[in-house]
Structure 1
Amino acid sequence: MTALLGGLGFLGLTLLLGGVWTRRALTPGTPPLWVPGLGAALLLLGWGGQAALTLNVLGMTAPTDALAYLTDTGAGRSLLLGLMGAALLLAAELSGWPRALALPCAALILWGAAGLGHGAGHGPGVRLLHALHAGGMAVWLGGVLALLLSRPATAAQARRFTPAALGGVGVLAVTGLLMAAEHLSSLAEWTGTAYGRTLLLKLGLVALALLAAVAVRRRFARQLGVRAALAREAAVLLAVVGVTAALTTQAPPSHAGSAHAAHGER
């Protein structure tokens, strides 16, 4: 259940951020407004469900307990911050706020999201890496979905998307490597722990997504079977989102080791 709720949260984050970005910078008016609206709803469902599950496990079911969790804990405050950013970003898109006002709203969402996962157990530098990582994925998947929903998807749109896609992939690669170095301290942990093996699976799917992206570019050049190729790329990226959600349910070896040491000292 935790992985499912996490997946809904990640998908909602991608649809909201990616949808708003593509509507403003890539394919004006596409995707339709219901896409970022659905993203906001999934974000609320996923994050709210995770908070409710945590409170239920802790036996904190009274309204005052929920309020204390949201205001007195780091995870609770991150959740509130992210949801406030989501509400503001959706309002910005519905009301046509200028980009200078929409960008801080997106930053609030990403910073809140980074405080709910593994980034919360580290300092602000690692949390920033997690926020940038989520932003890179939102740009990549958001652009693919926008092209998939465009009628028709044109080579000119694909050319406009290419620099942003390369930037998103670059951000994903750099932040991913830095986060892996933070969470996995030895090569043996890549294959000897559940966290490491899940991360390897994610990397494999990202590689497949890159191959799918190359195939999409070739299809655009030939104007043949573009939509089917875009659908395959989107499907692989959605699988990456699913594996990322599963990854957040597993404690990195560095976290597990710290927790074990702390337990031994008491």
Structure 2
Amino acid sequence: MIIIGFLGGTYGIYKMVVGNYAMNDPFSFGFILMAYIILVASAYVATKRIWTLLIIGVVITFQSCNYAKSNQQVVVSEDCGMTWKKINAGEAVPKGGLNMCYMKVVVPNFPMQGEATFISNLKDKVRANVHIDYDYSIIDALAFIKQAKFLGKANVDADNEEAIGKSFEMAENMVIDKRIKDVAKRIFVDEDIVELDQSEIENHLLAESNKVLEQLGVHLNFITLSFDLDEQTRQAIDVSTAMKIYESKGLTELGKQVMSQRAGATRITVENKTEAVKPEN
């Protein structure tokens, strides 16, 4: 049993070193190493400590078995979020440590989806409800966590699936949505709703948004844009489009007559006249 406990503890210490646990959380590693040496010495002198040695060996072994995966980016802080350090995929991730200021964030390393809805002005003071669906990836966890420090927690397990993507809705609203809205409003104010090219403005918005977001560790993969206009604006767009077709065919005057008749046809007046009933003799 002593040999098993010794081998288990030694293997755990070895995995801590090769898995960079010691580098990522030196305070806890130093404490565990000191405790292990003391317990080994105690067990050597008195076999009564055999169970203690076995328990500590098992604890150390499990403590070193939590690793960062390829589909996540793990960042840690030893000073309550003042500075952060990234743990590469395959390296050991400390589970908690004895440092009260030790924090850990598990950032998804795969594409995620988000959406933004807002009201924006287009050219000639046309107002529209704008809905944007987007797909994004966090390309730099260290830059991203500086903008979303509220994601930091003291004991986030890298093996916990709930830690991946669970808290990112608020991060999307604060980090991504706000930047997209600011860029979109700046672009839309010069866009004519009649002349607007859907694919062209989506590409323009994607490129301009990425210039801002990539500095924050986020990259937009694609954007889908839609405008919700009121009935009056939609009718005005239909009329303008129809007139351009008439003009291209040299039928401007005919187009004006058709539009005039169409506009008049929408005005319906309903008269309800009730004749007085004559009394019978």
Q: With structure 1 as the length reference, what TM-score do the two structures score?
A: 0.20
Q: With structure 2 as the length reference, what TM-score do the two structures score?
A: 0.19
Highest Rg: 1 or 2?
A: 2
**Which structure features the higher share of helix residues?**
1
Q: Of the two structures, which has the highest relative contact order with CA contacts closer than 8 Å and spacing of 6 or more? A: 1
**Which structure features the higher share of strand residues?**
2
